[in-house]
Amino acid sequence: MRHILSVTVENEPGVLSRVAGLFSGRGFNIESLNVGPTLDTGVSVMTITTEGDEQIIEQIVKQLRKLITVIKVVDLTDLKSVLREMVLLKVNANDANRAEILRTVDIFRCKVVDVSIDELTIEATGNYEKISAIVGLLTRFGIKEISRSGMVAMKRSIQN
């Protein structure tokens, strides 16, 4: 099962390597990883999506907590959270299909952020499923380039 971990870490050199090394060294899988600063300059937050059975996820969480530079680990999977990814897609576009592409962009409330004679660059945000759906739908037009962020996540204020 896919799990989303929010990991609060000390913002210091090598911390990403410690986390990444933990996953590779112990044979855990990272599906996506996103790191960014917080309001406290000394602290960063990583959002890690990973996969494994219950026992493996328990080990991942414990091993992360064991790292000296990790301050806090929260498994957001079973909590109500806002999950977002962003993707930039460069799609082939010609006079015949441009309207259809724009319609799709509209339906998914994406944005066109760059245009040329035969390409459209589209920005989309949403949860994992939405992004996968957009990518799936646009594939038939020919995706020339794709750049996908890792997931960022936040626990919702109201849990019940």
The closest of 95, 57, 89 to 74, measured between CA atoms, is: 57
Give least dist CB 46 to other proteins, A: 14
User: How many other CB atoms are there within 10 angstroms of residue 45's CB atom?
Assistant: 20
Place of tokens 């990991």: 7
Closest CA to 20 of 52, 54, 55, 46: 46
Per CB under 8 A, 40 contacts other proteins: no
Q: Which stretch binds other proteins (CB under 8 A): 57-65, 84-92, 118-126, 145-153?
A: 57-65
Residue among 18 and 98 whose Cβ is closer to other proteins: 18
Q: How far is the CB of 58 from other proteins (least distance, A)?
A: 6
Instruction: Candidates 16, 18, 52, 102: give the one binding other proteins (CB under 8 A).
Output: 18
55 binds other proteins, rule: CB under 8 A: yes
Query: Please, which of residues 59-88 interact with other proteins by CB under 8 A?
Result: 59, 62-63, 65-66, 68-71
Separation in Å, CA 45 to CA 33, 40, 48, 89, 135: 10, 10, 10, 26, 27
Residue 11 interacts with other proteins (CB under 8 A): yes or no: no
Stretch near other proteins under the rule CB under 8 A, chosen from 52-60, 82-90, 110-118, 145-153: 52-60
Closest by Cα among 20, 34, 123 to 83: 34
Question: What is the layout of strands, in order, in the sheet containing 43-51?
Answer: 30-37, 43-51, 2-10, 70-75
Give contact residues for other proteins (rule: CB under 8 A): 9-10, 13-14, 17-18, 21-22, 25, 55, 58-59, 62-63, 65-66, 68-71
